[in-house]
Structure 1
C-alpha cells in the first residue's frame, strides 16, 4: 500500500506541474494578462509591479519557476478592484464551496446508494421500476432549471413562523446563518447528482450479486444481511467512491451556476464576477486553485479505492 501511495503522489505532483505549465502558457503568452482592456484601466505603476512580480521580463524557464514559487507560497497577485491579495479572497470563499460540496455529495451519496441497493436487490419489481423512472425524469431536468425552480418556490419559506430558507435577493447587511444559506444550493446539486449515483450503484450491485464469492458466502451459512452489506455493498460501492471523489474535486472548484442563482459566496460566484469585470489575477488564481484541488482529490480517491480493493494496488 505504501508503494502505491508514493507512486500515486508522485504522479499527482507531476500532473500539477504539467497543468500549471499549460496554464502558464495560456495566461502569459496568449496576451498580456495585466494590460488595460475596454473600461478596465490598469495604472502603469501597478502593471509594472505585477509584471515584475510574475517575472514577465525574465526568460521563459525563469518565468515558469517564479510562477510556481508564487503559486505554492500562496502569492497569487493583487485584485484589480479592491487591491486585496487574491489568496485572501480565495481563503474567504473556499470554505463556503467546500461546505457546499461536502453537503451536496453527502446527500446525493446517501440517497443514491440506498436507492441503488434497493433497486438491485428487488430487481424488476415495482420499486425498481419506480426508482428507475424517477431517476430518468430527474435526469432530464437541467441543473439551472431545477435550481431556479427551487429558488422561486422555496426561498423565504416559513414553517410555524420560522423561516426555513432565506429570502433572495438578500437585504443589505442581512446576516443569514450558514446552514440556511447552504441548504438550497446543496439540495440542487444533490438532486442533479443522486440520479447518476443511484444508477451507478444499481449496476455495480447487480454485478456483485452474481459474483462467485457471494454464492460461496451464502453456502457457508452467512446471513443474507451480512452477505449483502459486508460482501456486496463494500465491493459495489467502489465505483461510487471514485465518482464521489471526482464530484467533490469539481464542486470544490466552485459551481458557477448554482452559486450565482442562490448568490452563494463561493469560489464559483467569485470566478463569475471576476470574468464579468475582466479581473485577471482572480481568474488566474481560481483556475490554478481548481486544477490543483481536482488533481489532489482524485489522487486521494485512488488511494481510498486501493485500500478498499487490494487488486487495484497491483495494477
Structure 2
C-alpha cells in the first residue's frame, strides 16, 4: 500500500505541472494587455504600465513567467492579484467558505442519493422506482442556475423558510439552501448510478449464497450488496467533490456566498490573471487528492482489490 501511494504521488507531479501550465498559458496568452485593461477607458501612462508589468513579471517570456510562478508556488506564494492583495490571503478567506458549502452539498447528495438509489434498486419496477426515476431525470434536465433561482424565489422569498441571500458566509446554517441547490444535480446522478449498480448485483451468485446461508437481510444488503454496489458510486463522488468546489461559481453567485467560486468569477470578469490561476491551481490539487482517496477506498469496499 505504501509503495502504491508513493507511486501515485509521483504520478501527480506531471499531472499537476501539465494542468497548471495549460491554465497559465490559457490565461496569459489571450490577446490584449491585462495591465492596460486595468485603466479601463482612461489613457494609461506608459511608465506606470511598464512598472506594473515588471512588478507582475509580465515583461518576461511566457514560459519564464510560468517557471517563476511554479517556483514561488512551492514556497507558498500564489502571487499578487491586480487588486494589490496576496492571492494566498484571498484564498485563505474564501476556501473555508467553499469547503463548508461543498461538504454540506457532498453529504446531502451522498446520503440522500445512495438511499434513494438503494430503495429504487430493491423496488425495481414499482411505483417508487418510477417516481424517483422521473424526478431525477427532471432535475438533471434543469440547469443549475434555474434550480437556484427557483429555490431562491419560492423557498427564500415566497415561503420564507430561509433567507434568499446569504448574509454571513461563515454561518453553516445559511449555506444549507445553496448546498442543496449545488448538490441537487449530483444527487440525481448518484441515485441513478446506485440504482443501476444495485440492480446488477442483487441477482449475483454471492447474494444468493449469502441469503441461502441464512444471513439476516440487513447484513446481506448492508455488507455484501452495498460494498460491491458502491464502487462506481464512490468513483463518481470522489471526482464530484472537486466538481462541487469548482461548480460553486454559479451557486455562490446566486446566493452571494463569499467563497472561491465567487472569487473566481470576479477574477475572470475582472481580467485578474493571478487570481484566476491561483484559484484553478487550488482546484487542481483538490481533484488530485480526491482521486487518490477514491483509489484507496476501493480496497476498503472490495476485499478482492489489493495494491501492490
Match of 1:66 in 2: 68
Deviation at 1:34, TM superposition (A): 5.0
| 1:57 is the counterpart of 2:60 | yes
Total equivalences in the alignment: 302
Distance in 1, Cα, partners of 2:163 & 2:75: 38
Q: Secondary structure at the match of 2:77?
A: coil
Q: State the shift of 1:263 in Å.
A: 0.7
Report the secondary structure of 1:274's partner residue.
helix
Give the superposition deviation at 1:177. Answer: 6.3
How far off is 1:209 after superposition? Answer: 0.9
What is the CA distance between 1:199 and its match in structure 2? 0.5
Gaps of 5+ in 2: none
Cα offset, 1:119, TM superposition:
0.8
Instruction: Provide the secondary structure at the position in 2 that maps to 1:57.
Output: coil
Partner of 1:44: 50
Q: Counterparts of 1:107 and 1:119 in 2: how far apart (Å)?
A: 18
- Find out whether 1:266 has 2:259 as its counterpart: yes
1:49-69 C-alpha deviation (Å, 9 max, x unpaired): 211xx8x63794x55442222
Deviations 1:171-208 (A, max 9, x none): xxx65761232111101022222111110000011111
Equivalent-residue separation in structure 2 for 1:207 and 1:33 (angstroms): 56
SS in 1 for 2:36: coil
* Residue 209 (structure 2) aligns with: 216
Q: Which residue of 1 aligns with 2:81?
A: 79
Quote the Cα distance in structure 2 between the aligned partners of 1:10 and 1:177: 36
Corresponding position of 1:166 = 163
CA deviation profile, 1:90-112 (whole Å, cap 9, x unmatched): 11011111111110111111111
Contact 2:97 2:170 in 1 (8 A): no
TM-score by length of 1: 0.86
SS of the residue 2:152 aligns to: helix
Q: 2:296 aligns with which of 264, 289, 303?
A: 303
**Unaligned segments of structure 1, at least 5 residues:** none
